[in-house]
Amino acid sequence: MRKWLAGLAALGMAAVGILPAQAAEPDSPKVIRVGATQAMDSMNPFLAVRLVSSSIHRWMYGFLTVPDSKTLQPSPDLAESWTTSPDGLTWTFKIRQAKWSDGQPVTAEDAAWTFTKMMTDDGAKTANGPAVENFASVTANGQELTIKLKAPQASMLDNPVPIMPKHVWEKVGDIAKYDADDYPAVTSGPYIAVEHKKDQYVKLKANPDYWRGRPKIDELQMIFYDNPAAAVVGLKKGDIDLIGRLAPPDFEALKGTDTIVQWNTEGRRSTYLQINHGATTSDNKPIGDGHPALKDPRVRQALHTAIDKQKLVDEVQNGLARPADGSIVPPMYKDFFWEATGAEKVSFDLAKANKILDDAGYKKGADGIRAMPDGSRKLQFRFSIHTDTPIEDKLAEYLTGWFKELGITLTTKRLDSSKFTEETGTTALFDIAISGWSVNPDPEEVLATHLCSRRPTASGEGGGTESFYCDPQFEQLYAQQQKELDRGKRAEVIKKMEQRLYTDAPVIALYYPNNLEGYRSDRIASVTSIPEDKGMLYGGSGYWPFYTLEAVSTNGESDEGSNTGVIVGVVAAVVVLAAAGLFVARRKRGVADERE
């Protein structure tokens, strides 16, 4: 018994002794920990589709180009320069002299292999298939990479494909089944992944041979949380040093901590309503059960006029957004952002909205609800939102209130995400639905969701449409910007597309949510955002923030850490001793009982 107790005591002492010892290493490397509320789906860049995965791949691999940290325009990355043929169909990139992290040189062969793999192997299309859809051929000659296109494509320089090392990846049998979990990974970007524990963390070490120079920190850790509230606690406590993509309540929970910087900037998202204004399939046959009144642009205009966007920003987004007086490209992208002014600008005005409907012949019935001019149907719309998104529920309440003032009934329809995608993107079984996109520095893709070709076929195939839009004017503008290689002129065309979306209103932009992040100033000395002038940290494209990060001190653990160790040790020792005491007491009584 005594021996056993001694063992326990030793255990308690060890707990006290060991924990602080591990916390206070003098020359620990500079480590920055980033929290994410989404875990990696795959370390294989050909397969990974989640945002967190593409961020980590951005830090690991080189791309042809990277958005400039000041202007967000494409700037050299692995491609140090490029030329375009006059017809815009042939692009030639000069690949810079750089090294893979295993010492091999980076050549145009690597890039050619990467793109060709995606063009020829369907498994490799999973993540970025559309990026090479317009490629006719890709060839390499030393450091020169030539891409021939099927049709002109101005967004060519915003290519989202990481360049992979051919000499490593060509040995992979089936790309679609390859998990890419051999560490350290062979990469050419600022960081090398050295360890990955599924759903737990990814550890990245600075690449000493990175062509721009070694990052200033030694190690970057990405730590995954299932639960945003726990991540916020983790930041306050110092378990992590930075976290992005916060919801307004989580962001506000960071208030009042001196060492935490609340990073509140313009975001890359827009939140908008998509309206079923007479959905058709790609062969122009009507589909779905959208309300006929929504085909009338005047009704859509009236709805737009009845939305108090400022109020939505204040009450639904806790003030952490900007009301949308433009279309779906957020103001963060200054070059491409278009804003309505003058008579074109739609402002909140219930009387005016009512008048629009009165003039258009939608009369109010005895119950105060408007009906179609021919009296065939009441103006009762469904509003499709996602289940379990309190913010959309709240939004629905406000819209229902305003539309009621117009004599329009709005009922909320909650759908899980796959059903939602199906009804709003394929079967068109909706009237009005919530939507939102994260927009890339080149907005072409988000605008393309309004093309005729994005409508599904009669059998429900294909697609990727927003509100089944198909408009000749918009199509013509889209084709025009694709051919326009002059950035300024192209931006003008893109703005016209946004203007068309604003006035025709197949979608109604509500607001542009801010990008909400937080980091510890006692751990991060400096960080460059994208764009540099008050831009984004974690959520932005490119690797700038994580390449430029500077840590505060050499000590990986704060003083609190060693206290923690002591406290845990003491608690453990107390528990162990108490248990031992209890055990002894009970044993004694047990013996006494036996004697009776």
Partner 1 sequence: MTVTQSAVDAIEERPARHGLARYAAAKAGGALLSIAMVIVATFFAFRLLPGDPVRALAQGRNMTPEQLDLERARLGLDKSLPEQFVHFVGQTLRFDLGVSYEYKRPVLDLIGERIGSTLLLTGTALVMAVSLGVWQGARAGWKPGSRFDRFSTAISLVLWSVPTFWLGLLLLMVFAAGVGPIPGIFPTRGIESVDAPDGFGYVLDVAKHMVLPCLTMVAVVYAQYLLVMRSSVLDEVGQDYVTTARAKGLRDDEVRRKHAVPNALLPTVTLVFMRIGFVVGGAVTVEAIFSWPGLGQLFYEAIRVPDFTLMQGTFLLITVSVILMNTLADVVYHVLDPRVRSA
Nearer to partner 1, 56 or 356 (CB): 56
CA distance 358 to 375: 14
Sign of the torsion formed by the C-alpha atoms of 162, 264, 325 and 464? positive
Nearer to partner 1, 465 or 529 (CB): 465
Instruction: Collect all residues with Cβ–Cβ distance below 8 Å to 97 and sequence separation of at least 6.
Output: 105, 106, 143, 211
At closest approach, how far in Å is the CB of 122 from partner 1? Answer: 5
**Peptide linkage before 86 cis (omega within 30 of 0):** no
Do 430 and 288 meet the contact criterion of CB atoms below 8 Å apart?
yes
CA distance 276 to 279: 6
Beta bridge partners of 201: 197, 223
At closest approach, how far in Å is the CB of 406 from partner 1? Answer: 31
Which amino acid appears at position 167 of this protein?
Answer: H
Question: Could you list the residues that contact partner 1 (CB under 8 A)?
Answer: 14-15, 18-19, 22, 33, 41-42, 47, 49, 122, 125, 129-130, 133, 176-177, 179, 197-201, 203, 221, 223-227, 229-231, 233-234, 236-237, 239, 415-419, 421-422, 425-426, 445, 448-449, 454, 457, 461-464, 556, 563-564, 567-568, 571-572, 593, 596
CA distance 116 to 27: 46
Tokens of 583: 């055990």
At closest approach, how far in Å is the CB of 593 from partner 1? Answer: 5
At closest approach, how far in Å is the CB of 308 from partner 1? Answer: 28
Sign of the torsion formed by the C-alpha atoms of 202, 203, 209 and 213? positive
At closest approach, how far in Å is the CB of 107 from partner 1? Answer: 29
Nearer to partner 1, 226 or 349 (CB): 226
Tokens of 310: 């400022």
Nearer to partner 1, 87 or 596 (CB): 596
Sign of the torsion formed by the C-alpha atoms of 578, 581, 583 and 589? negative
Beta bridge partners of 74: 67
Nearer to partner 1, 176 or 360 (CB): 176
At closest approach, how far in Å is the CB of 239 from partner 1? Answer: 5
Nearer to partner 1, 114 or 126 (CB): 126
At closest approach, how far in Å is the CB of 572 from partner 1? Answer: 8
CA distance 466 to 425: 7
At closest approach, how far in Å is the CB of 86 from partner 1? Answer: 29
CA distance 158 to 538: 19
CA nearest 275: which of 428, 74, 111, 474? 428
At closest approach, how far in Å is the CB of 125 from partner 1? Answer: 6
3-state secondary structure 59-77: HHCCCCEEECCCCCCEEEC
